[in-house]
């Protein structure tokens, strides 16, 4: 039986809007899709039966969001189809998605224009019947001819793309985005057009990209700096990589570093480190969720988000002056040590005094930290510096981190707990780029926490918390990207 017959979507009375002159109401849903044998090749009917279970949960969440006057909702990457299929097993879960720039299609009103598009029909009706913008992630299949002169067409005669789709409140497909930067996704082809995508709403322009894309100039810098877009919808299946790339830590930092609103919806599969979603503004987290409990099925987050005016295109100044005080001879230079951090060797210096000014350098990057703890250290903390390529992309990092154990070699592994309070913190670095993202990760109630807006300040030269935090510290860092020094990618690897 066709999926459309079983949808049972009830038309709703047009709801009041959640946005006004100053804010819109955004939502993200962290979700644990039902278990699936990802390598088994199944029929289209079997694939639809599996996806229907996830879509019915989306329906429940979309209806709740509508009752709460949400204007736009974001669902996670792979939340409908599950993740890491083989190319062959993924095929039955994919649908042909037309290009909304070339034709207008409201699948809820016109479900039979294209065959085998039941998932798109469902999503279109969800958006229409709940009068909200809806962003979801599915798979797009596009035919090609591998016998022609084209050298890019796969041997099976079609492209398979990791795809974000966007529907407006009438159910119209208004945008689709093919993921450019894949991460071990052998069932998909990277975007052949490398095209960046954004869409318009009454409450702002939104960039759309997916997971690993955030690490690269295309699409992130192009959309947020060169085109000046101030809002991001971000379906993701993000695996925490400590100490600097936990989901809530890094995504909130990107929002602050680029000065944008950032709606990040993650998978919830903590046994594989998929966890952490949030709605972030340039000044900090408006709502976030981080729960390592496997039994949790995820969370709907809702927040009123400030409406930001688009800023003019911006290109960073690569000739940055050295921050004031960086070469102060009164700053201590303790003996440094190396520790493997996400497969790279970082330089560290141990923090062994309750109050200190210390410096550590790596290649051309020097980092200094000014800090005061509430009492002498009983846990090992260190100041890190790294300046170099990680795989294909160039990063510079300065950060105070809680080491996993008392062994210095563990500092690069990061820690999931902390009992150490700081009453003052500031860090600076001789970064070569303006793309610097401020990261603050705390510990409380058995889980990672973020600092509320207003407890810290940041510019591209300094991150500081003059009064410290009311929770123990895990990481206090600045993570930067120098896109101009990237290497052409030959592999997809983050950690």
The Cα angle at residue 72 between residues 70 and 74, in degrees rounded to 5: 115
> Is-catalytic flag, 211?
yes
**Options 176, 179, 404, 461, the catalytic residue:** 179
Residues 106 and 104: their CA atoms lie apart, in Å, by 7
Tokens linked to 367:
């980092």
**Options 211, 367, 398, 411, the catalytic residue:** 211
**Options 30, 57, 59, 77, the catalytic residue:** 77
Residues 6+ apart with CB under 8 A from 459: none
Catalytic sites, residue numbers: 77, 179, 211
């Amino acid at each position: 039986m066709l999926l459309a017959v079983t949808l049972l979507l009830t038309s709703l009375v047009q709801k009041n809007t959640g946005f006004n002159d100053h804010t819109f109401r955004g939502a993200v849903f962290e979700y644990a899709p039902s278990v699936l044998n990802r390598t088994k090749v199944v029929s289209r009917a079997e694939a639809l039966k599996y996806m229907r279970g996830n879509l019915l949960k989306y329906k429940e969440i979309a209806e709740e969001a509508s009752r709460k006057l949400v204007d736009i909702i974001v669902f996670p990457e792979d939340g409908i189809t599950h993740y890491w299929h083989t190319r062959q097993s993924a095929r039955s879960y994919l649908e042909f998605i037309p290009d909304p720039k070339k034709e207008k299609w409201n699948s809820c009103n016109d479900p039979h224009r294209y065959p085998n598009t039941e998932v798109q029909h469902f999503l279109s009706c969800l958006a229409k019947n709940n009068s909200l913008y809806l962003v979801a992630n599915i798979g797009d299949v596009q035919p090609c001819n591998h016998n022609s002169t084209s050298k890019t067409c796969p041997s099976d005669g079609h492209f398979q793309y990791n795809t974000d789709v966007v529907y407006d409140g009438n159910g119209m497909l208004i945008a689709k985005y093919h993921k450019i930067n894949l991460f071990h996704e052998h069932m998909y082809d990277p975007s052949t057009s490398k095209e960046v995508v954004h869409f318009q709403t009454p409450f702002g322009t939104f960039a759309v990209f997916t997971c690993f894309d955030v690490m690269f100039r295309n699409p992130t810098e192009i959309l947020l700096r060169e085109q000046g877009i101030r809002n991001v919808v971000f379906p993701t299946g993000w695996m925490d990589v400590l100490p600097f790339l936990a989901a809530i830590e890094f995504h909130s930092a990107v929002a602050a570093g680029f000065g944008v609103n950032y709606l990040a919806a993650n998978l919830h599969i903590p046994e594989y480190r998929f966890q952490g979603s949030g709605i972030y503004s340039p000044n900090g987290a408006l709502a976030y969720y981080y729960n390592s409990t496997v039994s949790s099925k995820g969370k709907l987050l809702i927040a009123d988000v400030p409406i930001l005016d688009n800023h003019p295109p911006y290109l960073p100044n690569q000739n940055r002056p050295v921050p004031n005080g960086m070469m102060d001879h009164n700053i201590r230079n303790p003996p440094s040590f190396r520790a493997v951090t996400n497969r790279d060797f970082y330089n560290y210096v141990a923090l062994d005094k309750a109050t200190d000014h210390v410096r550590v350098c790596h290649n051309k990057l020097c980092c200094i930290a000014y800090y005061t703890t509430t009492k002498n250290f009983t846990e090992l903390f260190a100041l890190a510096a790294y300046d170099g390529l990680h795989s294909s992309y160039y990063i510079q990092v300065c950060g105070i981190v809680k080491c996993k154990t008392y062994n210095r070699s563990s500092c690069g592994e990061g820690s999931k707990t902390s009992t150490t309070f700081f009453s003052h913190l500031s860090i600076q670095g001789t970064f070569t780029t303006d793309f610097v993202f401020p990261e603050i990760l705390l510990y409380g109630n058995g889980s990672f926490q973020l600092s509320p807006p207003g407890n810290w300040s940041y510019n591209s030269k300094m991150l500081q918390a003059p009064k410290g935090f009311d929770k123990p510290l895990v990481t206090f860092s600045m993570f930067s990207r120098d896109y101009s020094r990237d290497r052409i990618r030959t592999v997809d690897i983050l950690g």
